[in-house]
Every structure is written in structure tokens, then in C-alpha cells.
Amino acid sequence: MKTKVLIIEDNEQNMYMLSYLLESENYEVIQAYSGPEGIDMAKNIKPDIILLDIQLPEMDGYAVAQKLREAEKLKEIPIIAVTSYAMPGDKDKAIESGATGYIEKPINPDTFISEMKSFLPTELS
């Protein structure tokens, strides 16, 4: 059974790159282009991992992470913030809002999968 990854990302190019990298490593990819859509999909699908952009329309990634953590059945799912927000304090803010890990954009295609796996429980990595 493939590991299900929900990507919440509004940028088409970033979505394509992440999806391509994950699918080439045999992950099942589910795509959401906004925070509310991602929250609904997470509740319905219960993915194994969530990759979350912070700069989203309608609702930023910090608010999305908080909402995801409020849902009992989603509390244990790793949420990895994948964001261009790289100022001092941005990583801490992402973690405080509920993210498990933080990866800066632009992502490095050669190391992204191993970076992502570093935040996952052993059974998913």
C-alpha cells in the first residue's frame, strides 16, 4: 500500500514539482490548492503525511495547521511546512501552529525526499 501524501499548495509549478518527486518515489499524491480544500480533504482521506505551503489564499498555512491539529483523527499526522518564508522566527511560528517539520523553498529536488522523511515516524520513512 502506497503512503498517501496530501499537498496543500496554491502554486501550479510547486505542486507539479512536489507531485513529480513524490510519485517518482512511489507515494500516492492528493492535491489541494487552498487551505479550506486541504482541511476537507485531510478529514475525508486521512493522509499519512501533509505537505503544507504557508502562503495560501483564503487562509494561511499557520491557520490551516492549527485547524488540522484540532481534528482528533488528524492529530498524529506529520505536517511539514514547505515554504519560502525563511525569516528568523518563521520556522518557530510554523512549529507552534502545529507543523512537525519545516523545509525551505526553493526545494532541492535531490534532497527533498530525504528531508521529508527525516520528519516522519519510522514506519512511514
Q: Which helix (H) or strand (E) holds 54?
A: none
Q: How confident is the model at residue 32 (pLDDT cuts 50, 70, 90)?
A: very high
Task: Parse the chain into domains and list their residue ranges.
Answer: 4-118
Per-residue pLDDT at 30: 98
Here the cell at position 1 is 500500500
All cell numbers assigned to 86:
525563511
CATH 1.50.10.20 is held by the domain 4-118: no
pLDDT in tens, 33-87: 999 999 999 999 999 999 999 999 899 999 999 999 999 999 999 999 998 877 7
- Which residues, 6+ apart, have CB-to-CB distance to 31 below 8 Å? 6, 7, 9, 15, 19
